Each structure stands twice: as structure tokens, then as C-alpha cells.
Amino acid sequence: MDTMFTVEESNLICIFAGESRNEAIEDIERALPYLEDTDMAELSGRVIGKLRDMTDEEFEQLELTEAE
């Protein structure tokens, strides 16, 4: 798998991860209009792009754990 996620990106996916890659993308996209922090909006956009670039199979293989 070519897509590598930073700790921040992984944390964001953990917050929005649902049953599928598409569900995670849709959930993050729904939150975008409410983000007032430009860094968070940029992070969200970057994560959406990476999620779109990967396959469902690659998403299912991700081992996502929230970092503190």
C-alpha cells in the first residue's frame, strides 16, 4: 500500500471511520463546512484525497489506532 498516513491523519480517520472507506469520506466531507480552523480543514482535505486514492481493500487493511 502506497498511502501513508501521519499520526494526525490517522487520528482524524479514527474519529470518522465508519463501516467503509466511502462512509469515512462522506462523514469528513459533511464536517468540512463547520470547520473554522484552516489547519483542520486542510488536514481533512488531505485525508479525503488519500482515502479516495486507496482501494476499499487497502482501507480494510489499515490498522488505525488513535494516538494521545
Chain centre distance of CA 32 = 12
Q: How confident is the model at residue 3 (pLDDT cuts 50, 70, 90)?
A: low
Which residue is it, cell 463547520?
34
Q: Over the stretch 4-50, which tens digit does the pLDDT of each residue have?
A: 899 899 999 999 877 899 999 999 999 999 999 999 999 999 999 99
Q: Residues 47-59: what's their mean pLDDT?
A: 95
Q: How confident is the model at residue 66 (pLDDT cuts 50, 70, 90)?
A: low
Answer yes or no: are the C-beta atoms of 58 and 1 closer than 8 Å. Answer: yes
Q: Which CATH architecture has domain 7-61?
A: Orthogonal Bundle (1.10)
Task: Map out the domains of the chain as residue ranges.
Answer: 7-61
Q: Does the pLDDT of residue 68 top 70, yes or no?
A: no
Q: Which three cell numbers stand for residue 24?
A: 469515512
What contacts 13, CB < 8 A, 6 or more positions away? 5, 24, 47, 51, 62, 64
